[in-house]
């Protein structure tokens, strides 16, 4: 679930989002990663709500179709989870050995997780050891076993083998670190604007310091267009994406998108302010935005105006090559922003060691 040393062959990254399934297979070639297969399939509305799979059959069918159509024969996969069933906490514990921590982590988790620990799957990563204070900082993650089992069952139903379960916010950190590295000084924010959820991950001194999910995201912008312009949802979505090949987008739509993006930027800023007020850390130096709605220019401008720091669109494919025999490069790169979670998952390997 966390930083590991990836020793084996890459797993196939499977991102089961609220509006679509994204799948990508990477291969390491000459110290660079290459996209060798990829696939995308939309999901019917209400298939997934807040990370809960409400229509398992639709997801199974979409996964089977993507793997078949994309000619992906590898069946070992890494999948991402998100939503209210996932809890992330940064905690401080007394300095102890790895063996002592393994024995103690259940008790520590009980103090910080607002659910019965017996129904949760627990993982952790040591962020910092502060010898002078006799303390160590941990990133603690808990996910409901039922949710993980639901995802595993659907993958198995699609004839896939789940090998790794990761948290979506951390998969984005994986691909960002691979592309850009992480500066041990200063802080940056990674914002992923999906269809149903906007995730925020603040990385301070090279490690994750704060995560939060905001339920205002791409669908909220579409719904605002639908309401203000009195058009069907599909037409509103087309307007948001630029109007399609023939439609001219009315000025009213541009104004609505700008207003909705400003509302989302306001919620993002409140989370940034909360982090700065409670963490004791210094200012955030850079913000990077990715995800299916990240291409909306008013969003970048609105976040930058409120945060007063540089905001950049993060392209998770910038340093990746593609296998042109199997990958339509233009089509894949046109969807690059949507594949950030799948690409982060695709970095995971079938043999991993926890980083020391």
pLDDT band per the 50, 70, 90 thresholds, residue 356: very low
Query: What's CA 48's distance to the chain center, in Å?
Result: 16
- Look-up: residue for tokens 């502060």? 130
Give the pLDDT confidence score for residue 279 in this predicted structure: 84
Split into its structural domains, the chain has a count of 1
Which token pair is 58? 């639709």
Summarised one tens digit per residue, pLDDT across range 288-308 is 999 988 889 899 999 999 999
Distance CA 28, CA 347 (A): 9
Whether 159 shows a pLDDT value over 90: the answer reads yes
For 183-222, what is each residue's pLDDT tens digit?
A: 888 899 999 999 899 999 999 988 898 999 999 999 999 9
Going edge to edge, which strands form the sheet with 12-16? 161-167, 76-81, 12-16, 20-29, 32-42, 321-322
pLDDT: which is higher, 179 or 60: 60
Q: How far is CA 342 from CA 40, 178, 261, 286, in A?
A: 10, 14, 25, 23
Going by their DSSP bridges, the two strands 52-53 and 48-49 should be labelled as: antiparallel
Q: How far apart are CA 118 and CA 137, in angstroms?
A: 24
Range of the structural domain that residue 222 is part of? 4-354
* C-alpha torsion sign, points 77, 78, 83, 84: positive
Q: State how far the Cα of 302 lies from the Cα of 296, in Å rounded to an integer.
A: 10
Q: For the chain, give the mean pLDDT.
A: 90
Please state at what angle helix 218-229 crosses helix 233-240, rounded to 10 degrees: 120
Its sign, for the CA torsion 176, 179, 185, 188, is: negative
pLDDT of residue 248: 77
Element (H, E) at 124: strand 120-130
Higher pLDDT, 50 or 68: 68
CATH of the domain at 39: 3.30.420.40
- Three-class SS state of 77: strand
pLDDT on residue 1: 44
Higher pLDDT, 244 or 104: 104
Which sign does the torsion angle of CA 290, 294, 297, 303 carry?
A: negative
């Amino acid at each position: 679930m966390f930083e590991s040393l990836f020793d084996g062959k890459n797993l196939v990254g499977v991102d089961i989002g609220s509006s679509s399934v994204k799948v990508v297979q990477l291969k390491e070639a000459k110290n660079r990663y290459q996209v060798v297969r990829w696939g995308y399939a939309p999901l019917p509305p209400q298939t997934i709500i807040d990370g809960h799979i409400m229509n398992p059959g639709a997801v199974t069918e979409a996964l089977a179709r993507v793997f078949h159509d994309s000619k992906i024969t590898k069946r070992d996969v890494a999948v991402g989870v998100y939503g209210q069933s996932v809890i992330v906490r940064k905690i401080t514990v007394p300095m102890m050995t790895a063996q002592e921590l393994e024995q103690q982590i259940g008790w520590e988790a009980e103090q910080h997780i607002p659910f019965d620990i017996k129904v949760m799957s627990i993982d952790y990563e040591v962020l910092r050891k502060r010898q002078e204070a006799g303390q160590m900082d941990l990133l603690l993650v808990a996910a409901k076993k039922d949710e993980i089992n639901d995802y595993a069952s659907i993958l198995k139903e699609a004839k896939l083998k789940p090998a790794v379960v990761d948290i979506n916010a951390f998969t984005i950190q994986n691909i960002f670190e691979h592309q850009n590295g992480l500066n041990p000084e200063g802080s940056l924010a990674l914002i992923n604007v999906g269809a149903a959820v906007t995730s925020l991950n603040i990385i301070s001194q090279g490690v994750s310091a704060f995560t939060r999910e905001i339920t205002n995201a791409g669908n909220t912008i579409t719904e605002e267009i639908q309401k203000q312009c009195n058009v069907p949802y599909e037409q509103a979505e087309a307007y948001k994406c630029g109007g399609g090949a023939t439609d001219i987008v009315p000025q009213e739509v541009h104004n609505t998108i700008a207003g909705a993006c400003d509302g989302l930027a306001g919620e993002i800023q409140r989370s940034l302010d909360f982090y700065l007020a409670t963490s004791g850390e210094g200012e955030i130096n850079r913000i990077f935005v990715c995800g299916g709605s990240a291409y909306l220019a008013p969003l970048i401008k609105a976040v930058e105006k409120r945060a007063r720091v540089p905001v950049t669109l993060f392209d998770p494919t910038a340093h990746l090559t593609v296998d042109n025999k199997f990958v339509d490069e233009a089509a894949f790169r046109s969807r690059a922003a949507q594949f950030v979670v799948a690409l982060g998952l695709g970095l995971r390997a079938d043999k991993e060691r926890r980083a020391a």
